[in-house]
Structure 1
Amino acid sequence: MKENVIDVLLYLFENYIDTENSHQPDKDTLELELERVGFHELEINKALNWLDTMTVVAPQVDTSAVSIRVFNDNEIEKLDVQCRGYLLFLEQVGVLDVETREVVIERVLALESEEVDLEQLKWVVLMVLFYQPGREVAYAWMEDLVFEDMEAVVH
């Protein structure tokens, strides 16, 4: 049985959110399908709530001054050094801006898992970019990064 909220989110993203199909099932139909493929009701509800709050608006951050992001203890506990470094990399290459980075961190903390690995972080970044208006180019770039990494693992 699949038990992780991020697994539910990935299933939804791959099968419904990022598709050309304009037909989206209603919530009840979606819940039944998720249960049918093996997800638990609690994890389904958490994932759907997580998506419902995806429209979180990025906090207003003063970007005129040069600053360094200091992670608090909860963030350090959830995001290891590799994940924090990857967020910095994405910001340096322009995939994430300061505001979107903060939304990603907020969404990672909302997952309620003990720790998020780099692969999971990449998917969260992809989902956040998908929902952020005006971030289509960054989304396409991140999508290439995620799927290139998946191809490298397969081959």
Structure 2
Amino acid sequence: MFEVLAFVYENFYAEDSCPEPAHLQRKLSGVGFDPEEIADALDWLTGLGNAARFAKPAVAAIPTVLPAAGFHLPTTDSMRIYSPREQNHLRSECIGYLHFLDHAGITPAHIREVVLERAMAVQDGPVSLDELKIIILMVFWSFGQEPDALALDELCETHETRTIH
């Protein structure tokens, strides 16, 4: 599924350039992705659209339950405590990375919560750090935002491509 999501991000990043699900499914099939992976990715993207629609920044300061996603929107003074289920599904490497992004001001609380909701929606777990980075990019994309250049560079880098200076 993550190869499909990465392909969608790389090829349809420009706002409003992603085709409708049926058309996207045909494009992904034409490229050669497995039908099951395509279906999983399209379901995941539908969930992303629903979560992002309910978590827009204009309402992020109001603590509200998101009916479609089942989570509360945080306030600016909220402190995030990860449940045991989240800790098992994300592991310490991913939680540490989310903590880093949060304290660096890269992921506002409403984006972090959508990232967590979408990470928990991944059936196969635990989620790896590289998979989490794809989720983060997709969430920013769903909000029509792009992280700053240094954050984007960090999100697009994998352990295999990292050069230690």
Distance 1:36 1:88, change over 3 A: same
User: In the alignment, which residue of structure 1 is the partner of 2:6?
Assistant: 10
Q: Note the alpha carbon deviations across 1:75-133, whole angstroms, 9 max, x for none.
A: 11211111100000000000112221111000111121211111111111111112225
Task: Provide the C-alpha distance between the structure 2 equivalents of 1:95 and 1:23, rounded to a whole number of angstroms.
Answer: 25
Give secondary structure in 1 for the equivalent of 2:6. helix
Percent of matched pairs sharing the same residue: 32
Match of 2:42 in 1: 48
Deviation at 1:146, TM superposition (A): 2.5
Rate the CA distance shift 1:26–1:61 in 2: closer, same or farther, 3 A.
Answer: closer
Q: Determine if the alignment matches structure 1 residue 63 to structure 2 residue 76.
A: yes
Residues 36, 79 of structure 1: CA spacing in aligned structure 2 closer, same or farther, 3 A cutoff? Answer: same
Q: Is the 8 A contact 1:78 1:116 kept in 2?
A: yes
Among residues 97, 105, 108, which one is paired with 1:94 in the alignment?
A: 105
Aligned residues: 144
- Taking structure 1 as reference, are residues 41 and 104 closer, same or farther at Cα in structure 2, changes over 3 Å only? same
Give, in angstroms, the shift of residue 48 of structure 1: 1.1
Deviates most, 70-79 or 27-36: 27-36
* Separation in structure 1 between the aligned mates of residue 11 and residue 162 of structure 2, nearest angstrom: 20
Partner of 1:117: 128
Letter in 2 for 1:105: L
Q: Which residue of 2 aligns with 1:145?
A: 154
**How big is each residue's C-alpha offset from its partner over 1:4-37, in whole Å with a ceiling of 9 and x where there is no partner?**
x112111111122x148x7654534432332233
Match of 1:84 in 2: 95
Indicate if the aligned counterparts of 2:73 and 2:113 stay in contact, CA closer than 8 A: no
TM-score normalized by the length of structure 2: 0.73
In structure 1, runs of 5+ residues without a counterpart are none
User: Do 1:126 and 1:142's aligned partners in 2 also have CA atoms closer than 8 Å?
Assistant: no
Contact 1:6 1:111 in 2 (8 A): no
Match 2:21 to one of 14, 27, 31: 27
Indicate conservation of the 8 Å contact 1:61/1:99, yes or no.
yes
Alpha-carbon distance change, 129 to 141 in structure 1, aligned in 2, over 3 angstroms: farther
Flag structure 2 segments of 5+ consecutive residues without an equivalent. Answer: 56-71
